[in-house]
Amino acid sequence: MAFIDNIRNSLGDEWLPIIYRERIRTQPTRSIKLDIPTRENKADIQYTLLGIELKVGKRRFSCPDLSTARYLRVFARFGSVEFAIPYDITKISTAADELETSWQRLVLNLEEYFAGRPAAVLSRARSSLVKTVRNDIAEIGSGEAMPLFDRETRRKGTQQ
């Protein structure tokens, strides 16, 4: 669709699937699988007595920290069921920042493109855009359950 190409071109390197492919999948990652509907979802971060949870519909997912919850929320919003998360926990916050910024710019560009048109047209266009992003992420893939470390290890005190 022409409007999707227009938005993709206006975002350039900040297009969410490009960030995912070039900045996240190029580093060691592990795959995550969420049991959520494959459509646009409302995803909320909740603070409970037991810690931080991501709530998607009626499902709740326990998260070890806020940056992980923010990262998962981006993918849950557009219904991506399986995706990769950086293995190095210090990189999750930066990745979440980049992905959230890209998501917000994507939504703003969509609303600007369809300004003055009926809400039904905007809704259909948003669904198409979300589906495109979800399919692009699925095409890139989620990788292995755990990263493959390509370096040899030696036990202390042994000769090789």
The better pLDDT of the pair 154, 35 is held by 35
- How buried is 117 (Cβ within 10 angstroms: 0-12 exposed, 13-18 middle, 19+ buried)? exposed
pLDDT at 150: 63
Q: Tokens 């090789």 belong to which residue?
A: 160
pTM: 0.87
Nearest to 36 by CA among 13, 62, 15, 56: 56
Nearest to 34 by CA among 91, 84, 102: 84
pLDDT at 148: 63
pLDDT surpassing 90 at residue 157: no
pLDDT surpassing 90 at residue 126: yes
pLDDT at 144: 76
pLDDT, tens digit, for every residue of 11-55? 999 999 999 999 999 999 999 999 999 999 999 999 999 899 999
pLDDT at 149: 59
pLDDT at 142: 84
Nearest to 77 by CA among 112, 105, 103, 46: 103
Using 50, 70 and 90 to split pLDDT, how confident is the model at 135?
Answer: very high
